[in-house]
Structure 1
Amino acid sequence: MKRSLSVPDYQSLAELRYQIRRFLHFSEQVVRGAGLEPRQHQLLLAVKGLPPGVRPRIAELAERLQIQHHSAVELTNRLAAGGYIRRQRGGNDRREVLLTLTPKGEKVLQEMALHHWEELRSAGPALTAALSRVVRRISSNKGK
């Protein structure tokens, strides 16, 4: 059954979107200041931050970045040309291509991650509060 949203529902969604956008704007500035594009940073971060047991294959990274496979290949090509990542053949399946960060990729990712960490230290509470407000509104309006 559909229900309509109230003005406070819209306000909570708008505040969450605002807080997300503020952080993304900050992130884009940091990343561009490091000479990369946001999606390039996202790919580096995804490679470094994959959960244990998840192999850094292009298909997996495309899923994590929510982009098409060919777009992930293009990102990989640009990052490899810039010396940020390298491709390696999979152990058992030589057709499998795995991505790893180079020392240059590790260094730039570390620098950007520290900036993001510090920003989240200050902006995190507002972001968390906005998300919590939306979750509370959703929980309190179940079945209405």
Structure 2
Amino acid sequence: MNQRKGRAQSGLITKQDLESMSNFRYQLRKFLRYSEEVTHAAGITPLQYQLLLHVRGVPGKTWATVGELAERLQAAPNGTAALVNRCEAAGLVVRKSGETDRRLVEVHLTSKGERCLLSLAALHLAEYRAFGWLASSIDVQGQ
């Protein structure tokens, strides 16, 4: 008998635990479906939106490296680089050499990417708040 099955059978997982986990997954799926709908309506994919969000969401700076983006997306670096390529072709991001280390490649939002991110982030923030996931004091524009 595997360990998880043993815990469930021994009563460590309660009906309330299962209901809570089910509700969490249900609410998460509802949010993800909403996100898919609004991003597609804006003309980008959910993954492109996530990349834009993570470029601006890295703490302490307004850009990100492909490695940082891969970590935040939980994706392989080569797949993330391909996603950056698609976003760059769509005019949403641009790559720049680092100011202090020219070997470092920074991914920055373009003005088009910034506008797209902020309009979609406002919609997502309203949905987060509807689920009660974020405090109402969070400001989409970071002001």
Is the partner of 1:3 in helix, strand or coil? helix
Question: Residues of 2 paired with 1:121 and 1:10: CA distance?
Answer: 24
Q: How far is 1:88 from its partner?
A: 0.3
Cα RMSD for the two superposed structures: 2.1
Change (3 A) 1:53 1:120: closer
Q: Per-residue displacement from partner, 1:21-75 (whole Å, max 9, x unpaired)?
A: 1111111111111111111100000011110169610001100010000111011
Structure with higher helix content: 1
How far the C-alpha of 1:107 sits from its partner, in A, is: 0.5
**Percentage of identical aligned residues:** 42
1:121 and 1:58 map into 2 onto residues whose CA distance is 30
Aligned mate of 2:75, from 40, 49, 67: 67
Q: What is the TM-score when the length of structure 1 is the normalising length?
A: 0.81
Q: Which runs of 5+ in 2 are unaligned?
A: 136-143
User: Is contact 2:63–2:109 with CA below 8 Å preserved after alignment?
Assistant: no
* Equivalent residue, structure 2, for 1:135: none
The answer to whether the Cα contact below 8 Å between 2:55 and 2:62 also exists between their aligned partners in 1 is no
In 1, the alpha carbon distance for the partners of 2:31 and 2:106 equals 30
Alignment match, 1:52: 60
Q: Which runs of 4+ in 1 moved over 6 A?
A: none
| Higher RCO by CA contacts (8 Å cutoff, separation 6 or greater) | 1
Matched residue, 1:134: none
Alignment TM-score, normalising by the size of structure 2: 0.81
Aligned length: 127
Q: Tell me the equivalent position of 1:21.
A: 29
